[in-house]
Amino acid sequence: MEITIDQRAHVTVVAVAGSIDALTADALVLAMGEQMHAGNTRLVAAFDGVEYTSSAGLRVLLATLKEARQRGGDLRLAAVQERVLRVLDLSGFTSILKCYPDVGAAVASFPTHHS
């Protein structure tokens, strides 16, 4: 599993590629945690390269989501593949976080001003 960080003006895009399972999830939660501790709490997880996730991936998303929101930010998803979206839907995750068809839309969804 590969993780690429792309710092935009007001949002951090974390692009993930590969499969997220019990083995690879730790690396992802660490990467997300690192961003948030650095003050980057407006996160877009670009999932176009994620072909599979197990509940381990869901745990990472939820932990990151809660931490980001606690810090005044948010985690939003972009370009989730159908198979992964099915798992997100089944476990109720689509009801609690925003998913966008592409990274551009997800990035644009964050207000550009600082409140």
Partner 1 sequence: MGRAEDAGGGREPGAGVRRHSLPAAGLADLAAVRAFVAAACDEVGVGTTVGEALVLAADEVCSNIVLHGYGPGTPGPITIEVERAADGARMTIADEGRAFDPADAPAPDLDAPWEQREAGGLGWYIVRRMVDELRYERRSGVNLVTLVKRAP
Partner 2 sequence: METSSVTHDPSVMPPTPAPARRGGRVALVIGSGSVKCAAALGAYRVLQREGIEVDMLVGCSAGSLFASMIALGHDPETCASMAAGLWTSDLTKLPDRRALLRAAFPRLFGFDARWGLRSDARIMARMVEAYGDRTFADARIPLFVTATDFHTGEQVVLRDGRLVDAIRASIAIPFAFRPHEVDGRLLIDGFMSDPLPVGVAMREGANVIVAVGFESPYQTRISSAGRFAFQLSSIMTNNLLKASFAFHGLAHHSEVIAVIPRFEQRIRLFDTEKMPYIIEEGAQAMSEQVPYLRRLLAAAVPAA
Residues making contact with partner 1 (CB under 8 A): 19, 21-23, 26, 29, 52, 54-56, 58-59, 62-63, 83, 86-87, 90-91
Q: For Cα atoms 54, 96, 85, give the angle at the middle one, nearest 5 degrees.
A: 40
In the chain, the amino acid numbered 6 is D
Compute CA distances 115 → 12, 43, 109, 110, 111, whole Å: 18, 17, 15, 11, 9
Q: How far is the CB of 40 from partner 2 (least distance, A)?
A: 9
| Beta carbon of residue 18, minimum distance to partner 2 (angstroms, whole number) | 25
- Does 57 bind partner 2 (CB under 8 A)? Our answer is no
Q: Toward partner 2, which CB reaches closer, 9 or 114?
A: 114
